[in-house]
Amino acid sequence: MTNRQIIIADLPTDALTPDHFKMIETEMPQPGEGELLLRVILMSIDAANRSWLRGATYRAAVTAGDAMPTYAVCEVVTSNSPKIAAGDIVAAEAVWADHVVAKAHKVQKLPRVETLSHLMSVYGIAGKTAFHGLMSIGRPMAGETVLVSAAAGSVGGYVGQIAKALGCRVVGIAGGPDKCQWVIDQFGFDACLDYHEKGLGKALATACPDGVDIYFDNVGGKVLETALNVMNERGRVVCCGAISQYDTDSPFGPRNLPGAIVVKRLKMEGFIVTDFAKDDAKCLRAMGHWVSTGQIKVTEDIVDGLENAPHALIGLLAGDNKGKRMVRVAADPR
């Protein structure tokens, strides 16, 4: 029995291409004491994958010859731990492969849901990030206006749909007219503005006639600067990410910071999803409710086949996904 694995053939120095990856076959890994053999079912494809190839971040750098790391939903094939049984579905830090070995205490048992891929999207990191950031930092109230950047991304769509469910006016920002229209059609945003167009400030003022009470910021940079200008007094800026600043050597500092914070008495606050783990059950119950009522539509961008993982990542970096992108390595075993 062999095991397919995708390794980094060469570290990219510029744009990522398929040549930077190589599929190899190895022997099937054997789990030791306290370990599990996992079958990889779904692999999360994230912009962060690319950043791991640039050097150490919150994880060690990935170098040539390493298998590409990934967050994955897996089925337990063999368990050498009393706490996990064969057949369990778990979340694990895995690699791009058919099978991996993991320590039992490092995986997380996942609940049974009807559609397994939802554990990667609405009930996964994307949905939890949207819920916790919006609810715990943004604290939306019916009648308020919520602005969301990267609105077509994996988190932004949930932020807008939750805010709509709560009675807010919701305006998105995304790249390109197609994505903007899709955000409106798919998620029911009241408006969505293309940041590639000139005059974003004026467009925002028009789309948000009562100003903005909550800005859910996934991008930072100039879009943040522009958004701060339309914030209302005592508005809240949920600092979720700064994707516009990740791939540059000359970061842009919003010139109205901290001035706008002082004058408008804004609150800006950052978080990561695990800060609110204590509220995860509440999040999953609420998201499940809104999925059941149709107020949250789950959009997933599933690429089939381990061998297509490099293309899935390269395409994501070019912005060709709509909704949460993942690679399906194996069918749902249930």
Exactly one of 261, 302, 317, 330 binds its own copies (CB under 8 A); that residue is: 261
Number of residues that bind its own copies (CB under 8 A): 36
Q: Residues 71-110 vs its own copies: string with x where CB under 8 A? A: ----------------------------------------
Taking CA atoms, 236 is separated from 20, 134, 187, 207, 228, in Å, by 42, 10, 22, 18, 10
The reply to whether 213 sits near its own copies by the rule CB under 8 A is no
Q: In angstroms, give the least distance from the CB of 276 to its own copies.
A: 11
Hey, which residues between 230 and 259 contact its own copies (CB under 8 A)?
237, 239-242, 245, 251-259
The reply to whether 270 sits near its own copies by the rule CB under 8 A is yes
| Ramachandran quadrant class, 317 (left: phi over 0; alpha: psi -120 to 50; beta: rest) | alpha
The reply to whether 272 sits near its own copies by the rule CB under 8 A is yes
Q: In angstroms, give the least distance from the CB of 321 to its own copies.
A: 20
Closer residue to its own copies (CB): 171 or 219: 219
Q: How far apart are CA 227 and CA 59, in angstroms?
A: 32
Extract long-range pairs of 197-200: CB within 8 Å, 24+ residues apart. Answer: 200/173, 200/226
In which element (H, E) is residue 204 found?
Answer: helix 200-207
Written as six digits, the tokens of 18 are 């398929």
* Residue whose C-alpha is closest to residue 54's, from 14, 9, 7: 14
The reply to whether 125 sits near its own copies by the rule CB under 8 A is no
Residue 320 forms beta bridges with which residues? none
Hey, which residues between 275 and 294 contact its own copies (CB under 8 A)?
275
The reply to whether 262 sits near its own copies by the rule CB under 8 A is yes
The reply to whether 217 sits near its own copies by the rule CB under 8 A is yes
The reply to whether 69 sits near its own copies by the rule CB under 8 A is no
Hey, which residues between 17 and 56 contact its own copies (CB under 8 A)?
51
Close Cβ partners of 149 (under 8 Å, ≥ 6 residues apart): 156, 172, 173, 174, 195, 215, 216, 217, 218, 219, 223, 224, 227
* Residue whose C-alpha is closest to residue 191's, from 220, 219, 230, 236: 230
Closer residue to its own copies (CB): 255 or 282: 255
- In the three-class reduction of DSSP (H, G, I as helix; E, B as strand; rest coil), residue 85 is classed as coil
How do beta strands 169-174 and 191-194 pair? Answer: parallel
Q: In angstroms, give the least distance from the CB of 123 to its own copies.
A: 23
Q: In angstroms, give the least distance from the CB of 127 to its own copies.
A: 19
The reply to whether 271 sits near its own copies by the rule CB under 8 A is yes
Q: Which residues bind its own copies (CB under 8 A)?
A: 51, 57-58, 217, 220, 224-225, 237, 239-242, 245, 251-272, 275
